[in-house]
């Protein structure tokens, strides 16, 4: 199991939260109808944290230029954003949310890049 | 729809040319990279110089033959920036002439109607002096009481026709030049721009819609705001959703000009299609229902082509229609933005519906622009900054202002 992200109660349904695990880029945890999704928080378009944006259904909206991303795939769904953001697998255990090992190394690699 | 079916798409300079940094500065280094002063949008003195040295000397587009109801008709064009009213006449043979809309008797404004069929004579409302379609004075009530002479100081009836204004027609567009002592022809003024459009099938299009918008901004604010596409993906809520697939963006979501050219005093830029564009549900449904309708059939280089005809006209193409703008200053911070939309003649009701959808979409986009123009003027007027900056993808603006400065400089030298 990878690093701890937050408790599940930190992110109610329809909510999103910025998390900053050590040695990893800022991530955003989204709760869509009880399912948790984790994405790289920095928008692929402008320099902004998606964690400060609105979660609308399964779309996370950038607070800067209002581009949107599908949190289930990371794909850009609304202009001006075009490039996807990274998504990461997470697991839930004892009320805590953790990156999977694979997701953790992917995030580290993306941080290094 | 129209007999024109072939679309010309010349190859790009190179596949990655659009991503070359400072591409347009490399092509036109003479335009420099410096900022643009805000004073030119605010100063009464600058406006006065534009009035005298630009609008008073340049060829100006005042409409098109579509503004006539046929041979033997007229329209009146008031040009506030020059304090003139013009009577524009297409005679029975189709010849177009413009005159000062002024009676030679006491200087009254001759024709008060906006347009219509030519009357038997253009008769002044004040004392009834009557003029023919070619401007000649034909009727003077109680003529015997006038001391007509035969020279310039005291002209005779022959010398008291309406005062003609230099007038030329290009591709159906009517231009006038209020500089009576000027000698340059319209062809010389249009130069390489006229040449580049010499084979364009303007006859395949008809004027369908007109909007005259009162705009709380300097005329150049309006032109500049239209004369770039950097704003397209950003301006919300309408531009980014209704711009359609006419404005390609790179992978970062920024527009890139397909081409930009300086053509004498004028410029043209082109955008490329955005093949990943997802259109609105209605437009998608219409396209599916009528796959042959609304296709781009005009011989243009891309889905959006924007010519700026110095000083204040735009001739643009978006997909299957042509639009023109004429931006007329009324004062330093007030203008009228005239918008005209020309479409191919529709073959079917479906064509017509698609055209009307385009019209509504375009109109809504421009409404968003009008709000933007006023906001720009407010910001400039605050004089918070003496200059503003433009990027390489806004090279058109740089070119326009340089042309304007050089034109006024030449005019000053006489």
CA B148 to CA B258: how far, in whole Å? 63
pLDDT at B300 over 90: no
The pLDDT of B293-301, averaged and rounded, is 68
Considering only CB atoms, which chain B residues are within 8 Å of A81? 253
A67 touches chain B (CB under 8 A): yes
pLDDT tens digits along B66-86: 999 999 999 999 999 999 999
- Torsion angle in degrees (nearest 10) through CA of A40, A45, A50, A52: 150
Please give the ipTM for the structure prediction: 0.75
DSSP, res B300: -
Q: Tell me if A83 and B251 make a contact (CB, 8 A cut-off).
A: yes
Considering only CB atoms, which chain B residues are within 8 Å of A79? 233, 240, 249, 253
Q: In sequence order, which residues have a C-beta less than 8 Å from that of residue B282 and are 6 or more positions away?
A: B357
CA A25 to CA A41: how far, in whole Å? 8
Between vectors from CA A27 to CA A25 and to CA A29, what angle results, nearest 5°? Answer: 165
Q: What pLDDT score does B278 carry?
A: 78
Q: Tell me if A82 and B236 make a contact (CB, 8 A cut-off).
A: no
Domain ranges of chain A: 4-103
Both tokens of B116, joined, read 């219509």
End-to-end CA distance of chain A: 23
DSSP, res B411: H
Q: What pLDDT score does B12 carry?
A: 46
Please, which pLDDT band fits residue A27 given cuts at 50, 70 and 90? very high
Strand arrangement of the beta sheet that strand B313-318 belongs to: B205-215, B334-344, B321-331, B313-318, B304-309, B266-271, B259-263
Both tokens of B369, joined, read 């622009």
Both tokens of B114, joined, read 């906006």
Of the partner residues B234, B236, B251, the one whose CB lies closest to the CB of residue A82: B251
- Å between A102 CA and nearest CA of chain B: 28
Helix spans in chain A (H): 101-112
pLDDT at B11 over 50: no
Cα nearest neighbour of A76 on chain B: B253
Q: Tell me if A80 and B233 make a contact (CB, 8 A cut-off).
A: yes
Q: Which CATH superfamily is domain A4-103 in?
A: Rieske [2Fe-2S] iron-sulphur domain (2.102.10.10)
Cα nearest neighbour of B233 on chain A: A80
The highest-confidence range among B95-99, B197-201, B228-232, by mean pLDDT, is B95-99
- Extract the runs of DSSP E, i.e. beta strands, from B134-242: 137-139, 164-170, 173-177, 205-215
Contact yes or no for B316/B324 (Cβ under 8 A): yes
A75 touches chain B (CB under 8 A): no
Q: Count CA atoms within 13 Å of residue B348 on its CB side.
A: 8
Query: Residues, chain B, total?
Result: 414
Place of tokens 């109109």: B363
Domains of chain B with bracketed CATH: 17-57+205-413 (3.90.380.10), 59-171 (2.102.10.10)
A70 touches chain B (CB under 8 A): no
The pLDDT of A28-32, averaged and rounded, is 98
Higher pLDDT, A108 or B382: B382
For chains A and B, what is the number of CB pairs under 8 angstroms? 24
Average pLDDT, chain A: 93
Q: Please name the helix (run of DSSP H) or strand (run of DSSP E) that holds residue B381, with its range, or none.
A: helix B349-381
Considering only CB atoms, which chain A residues are within 8 Å of B251? 82-83
Please, which pLDDT band fits residue A4 given cuts at 50, 70 and 90? very high
- Torsion angle in degrees (nearest 10) through CA of B52, B54, B55, B59: 140
Q: In sequence order, which residues have a C-beta less than 8 Å from that of residue A14 and are 6 or more positions away?
A: A31, A32, A55
CA B300 to CA A7: how far, in whole Å? 58
The pLDDT of A24-46, averaged and rounded, is 96
């Amino acid at each position: 199991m990878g690093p701890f992200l937050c408790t599940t109660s930190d992110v109610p349904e329809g909510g999103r939260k910025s998390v900053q695990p050590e040695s990893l880029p800022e991530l955003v945890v989204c709760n869509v109808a009880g399912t948790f999704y984790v994405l790289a928080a920095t928008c692929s378009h402008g320099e902004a944290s998606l964690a400060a944006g609105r979660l609308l259904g399964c779309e996370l909206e950038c607070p800067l230029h209002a581009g949107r991303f599908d949190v289930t795939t990371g794909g850009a769904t609304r202009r001006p954003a075009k490039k996807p953001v990274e998504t990461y697998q997470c697991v839930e255990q004892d009320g805590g949310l953790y990156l999977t090992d694979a997701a953790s190394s992917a995030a580290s690699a993306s941080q290094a890049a | 729809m129209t007999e024109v079916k072939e679309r010309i798409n010349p190859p790009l300079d190179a596949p990655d040319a659009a991503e070359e940094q400072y591409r347009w500065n490399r092509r036109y280094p003479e335009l420099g990279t410096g900022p643009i002063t805000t004073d030119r949008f605010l100063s009464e003195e600058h406006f006065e110089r534009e009035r005298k040295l630009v609008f008073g000397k340049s060829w100006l587009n005042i409409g098109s033959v579509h503004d006539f109801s046929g041979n033997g008709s007229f329209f009146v064009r008031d040009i506030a920036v020059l304090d003139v009213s013009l009577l524009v006449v297409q005679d029975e043979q189709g010849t177009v002439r413009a005159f000062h809309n002024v009676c030679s008797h006491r200087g009254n404004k001759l024709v008060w109607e906006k347009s219509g069929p030519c009357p038997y004579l253009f008769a002044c409302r004040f004392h009834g002096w009557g003029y023919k379609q070619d401007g000649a004075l034909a009727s003077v009530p109680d003529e015997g009481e006038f001391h007509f002479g035969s020279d310039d100081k005291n002209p005779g009836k022959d010398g008291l026709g309406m005062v003609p204004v230099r007038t030329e027609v290009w591709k159906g567009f009517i231009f006038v030049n209020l500089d009576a002592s000027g000698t340059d022809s319209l062809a010389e003024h249009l130069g390489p721009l006229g040449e580049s459009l010499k084979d364009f099938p303007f006859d395949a299009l008809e004027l369908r819609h007109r909007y005259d918008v009162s705009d709380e901004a300097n005329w150049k604010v309006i032109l500049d705001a239209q004369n770039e596409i950097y704003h397209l993906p950003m301006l919300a809520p309408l531009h980014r959703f209704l711009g359609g697939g006419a404005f390609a963006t790179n992978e970062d979501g920024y527009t890139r000009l397909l081409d930009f050219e300086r053509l004498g005093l004028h410029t043209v830029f082109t955008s490329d299609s955005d093949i990943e564009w997802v259109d609105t549900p209605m437009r998608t449904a219409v396209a599916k229902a009528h796959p042959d309708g609304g296709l781009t059939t005009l011989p243009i280089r891309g889905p959006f082509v924007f010519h700026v005809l110095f000083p204040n006209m735009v001739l643009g193409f978006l997909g299957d229609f042509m639009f023109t703008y004429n931006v007329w200053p009324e004062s330093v911070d007030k203008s009228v933005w005239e918008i005209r939309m020309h479409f191919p003649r529709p073959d079917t009701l479906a064509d017509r519906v698609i055209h009307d959808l385009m019209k509504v979409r375009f109109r809504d986009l421009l409404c968003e622009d009008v709000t933007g123009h006023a906001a720009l003027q407010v910001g400039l007027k605050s004089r918070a900054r003496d200059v503003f900056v433009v990027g390489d993808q806004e090279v058109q603006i740089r070119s326009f202002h340089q042309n304007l400065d050089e034109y006024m400089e030449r005019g000053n030298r006489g």
